[in-house]
Amino acid sequence: MKRWRRARVWFGVAVLALLPATAQADGWLTAFYGVAYNDFTPEDSNPKTWGFGFGSMGRGIVGFETEISFSPDFFGESEDYLVGDNSVFTWMNNMIVGVPIGGQTGFGVRPFLTGGVGLVRQRVESVGDLLDFSNNGFAYDVGAGVMVFFGRNFGVRADYRYYSNFEANDLLDFITGGEADAFEFTRLSGAVVLRF
């Protein structure tokens, strides 16, 4: 009988210990818009980029995020006869580390660091209507930013990220005349965040 009582007590303690962990976990959806910086376009015509993502933090400190972005006209305006229709697509899976200041349910600020691996696809559909290039490459990204929440469910985010393929590719060799290293660029973006 005493063992049964002891087992119930330990079960109750375990349940109480797990409840705060569940309550502290939070997830979010983001929709963002930003500017990419690279060595392929003039400084006054940095390509625009947009995308969405989702993530979750366990106990508010360490979590994950999956993010997809698209940058049309990354290598130059599509109307340019020499460049043609072109874009860059990314799909990254990141670890995110951030400490919530002010809690996880109301107003709060969360600075964070992030990094991970994924896919970067570069595409030039046509160059003078003669050539068609595309490349899918394994890549990594690192970055930092801050999320600010104004209530339980709504917030904003600003971040800066660096992207790089692990190795060079034929598309870059063609664009740069064989002088390219790994494809790399940075992105500055702002986002709307919905927390749940």
CATH number of the domain enclosing 36: 2.40.160.20
Please count the structural domains in the chain. Answer: 1
Tokens of 158: 């600003």
Structure confidence by residue, pLDDT tens digits, 84-122: 788 999 999 999 999 888 766 778 899 999 999 999 998
Is the pLDDT assigned to residue 30 strictly greater than 80? yes
Q: Is residue 46 part of a domain?
A: yes
CA dist 8 → 5, 12, 19, 22, 40 (Å): 5, 6, 17, 21, 66
The residue type at 4 = W
Inter-residue contact 92 to 55 (CB < 8 Å): no
Q: Is residue 85 part of a domain?
A: yes
Range of the domain at 70: 26-195
Predicted TM-score (pTM) of the model is 0.79
Q: Is residue 60 part of a domain?
A: yes
Cα three-residue angle 96-98-102, rounded to 5 degrees: 145
Q: Is residue 6 part of a domain?
A: no
Is the Cα dihedral 35, 72, 90, 128 positive or negative?
A: negative
Q: Is residue 40 part of a domain?
A: yes
Q: Is residue 119 part of a domain?
A: yes
Per-residue pLDDT, averaged over 144-152, amounts to 93
Q: Is residue 108 part of a domain?
A: yes
